[in-house]
Structure 1
C-alpha cells in the first residue's frame, strides 16, 4: 500500500476503540483532561495529571484525536 498523501484513510489511527494501551500523561488540555500520545496520536484522559503512567482503555477514536479512560486493576 503506497501513501502518496492523496485521499483520506480512516484506518491510519494507531489506536482502536475498546483496546487497552499503556501511556504517560504528558500535558493537560483546556478542560483539565490529561493528554497522552500514542505514536503522536493525542488521547484525552480525564482524571489524570502530568507524569502519570497509566493504562488507558480507548473509548472513542476521531480523525485527529481519541478519548480514553484509566483502567484500574
Structure 2
C-alpha cells in the first residue's frame, strides 16, 4: 500500500503523452485552481502505476497496489478543531494558514509564524474561516 502524505496538494489520473521529443503529463486546470498551486513554481511529482497494470520490466508482484483516495472537496469540516500555522496576513489583517492540498483557512486575529488551535466555523469550496480557540487560564 502506498502511503499518501498530508502535504499532498492534488491527485488526479492522466496519460503520458509524447510531444516534440519529450514526454508530458498534463495537470487539469481545476486541479491547479482548487489545490492552490502557483503556475511557474516547482513541485515534486510522483507517478504511480494504476492497479492491475504490469510491465515487461516489472514483475506483477512488485507493482504497488494503490488505494483510491478521493481528494475532492474541502479537507476541513465546520465545527472541526485543528492546529494550524499562520503563514501570512490577508488584505484585511486576518491570518492565513494552509492545510492539506494548499487549502486556505482564514483565521481571525492570527499572527504570522504563530501555531494556534482554531475552531473552523465556515467552510466553502476553496476557503474556510476560523476563530482561535481561547485556552482556559
Structure 2: distance between partners of 1:31 and 1:59:
18
Tell which structure's C-alpha radius of gyration is larger.
2
Higher relative contact order (CA 8 A, sep 6+): 1
Cα-Cα RMSD: 1.7
Structure 1 outlier segments of 4+, above 3 Å: 3-6
When normalised by structure 2's length, the TM-score is 0.45
Structure 2: unaligned runs, 5 residues or longer: 1-11, 14-27, 31-71
Name the SS for the 2:86 alignment partner.
strand
How far the C-alpha of 1:12 sits from its partner, in A, is: 1.6
Q: Which has the higher helix share?
A: 2
Q: Say if 2:114 is the partner of 1:63.
A: no
Q: Which has the higher strand share?
A: 1
Structure 1: unaligned runs, 5 residues or longer: none
